[in-house]
Chains A and B, each alone.
Chain A
């Protein structure tokens, strides 16, 4: 069981918005930066968001993150079938001195 908790799955229709939560604690999300990753089947994870809410070059602004206390939420607007993937949150844990990943959320675009 991951220290960073994500829902196992979410779904929404094309064009709609979906949110994916990531819940942690004061030793990780509460006091450290959060990043998010997208993993398409058979490929390595891809960085979507870093430094809480910054997007690498090439990542559309349909992807955004909000953070409150010890939780962070990834929002995806204008859903496309190509967004079907597994999504992971990540954060440094100051108590463990380790980087943590959430358990992952499978997004289905119906």
Chain B
């Protein structure tokens, strides 16, 4: 079955860039039938979808308006993984970050284990 394994630091300094990676097993990041998402959860903001990358003959991205100016989600086909980069972080970006596989049609069915990110100097 499809599994997602997250990696990356749990502590980021204010104004710096939060970077997380999600390694995929059991599927291909280049699949043309699904999407690769980043979602975060905090007590103040609840579950918040940040964005996605997906391949349909070429690569596409969609991003939440709330982070659109600061976010990049990139696929890495050589390593079959995808990454999240969120720059200029503030304490408001502290959350549990999840990578996830799914679409609006099929639902978000596969989730990574979650990474707790703290923003502090």
Contacts and interface: CB of A to CB of B under 8 A. Distances in A.
Interface of A: 2, 32-33, 35, 37, 44-47, 49-51, 56, 88, 90-92, 96-101, 103-104
Contacts of A49: 107
Contacts of B37: 99
A60 to B, nearest CB: 17
Interface in B43-58: 46-49, 52
A32 B65 contact: no
Contacts of B114: 44
Interface of B: 37, 39, 46-49, 52, 62-65, 98, 102, 104-109, 111-114
Does more than half of chain B's interface fall in helix, strand or loop, or is it mixed? strand
Does more than half of chain A's interface fall in helix, strand or loop, or is it mixed? strand
B49 A98 contact: yes
A91 B65 contact: no
A44 B49 contact: no
B105 A44 contact: no
A4 B102 CA distance: 19
B47 A44 contact: no
A50 B106 CA distance: 6
Nearest to B35: A99
Nearest to B49: A99
Given A44-B111, A44-B113, A101 B105 contact: no
Contact of B104 (A35, A56, A104): A35
A33 B46 contact: no
Given A33-B104, A51-B106, A98-B62, 14 more contacts: A2-B46, A33-B105, A37-B108, A44-B111, A46-B111, A50-B107, A90-B107, A98-B63, A99-B37, A99-B52, A99-B108, A101-B39, A101-B49, A103-B46
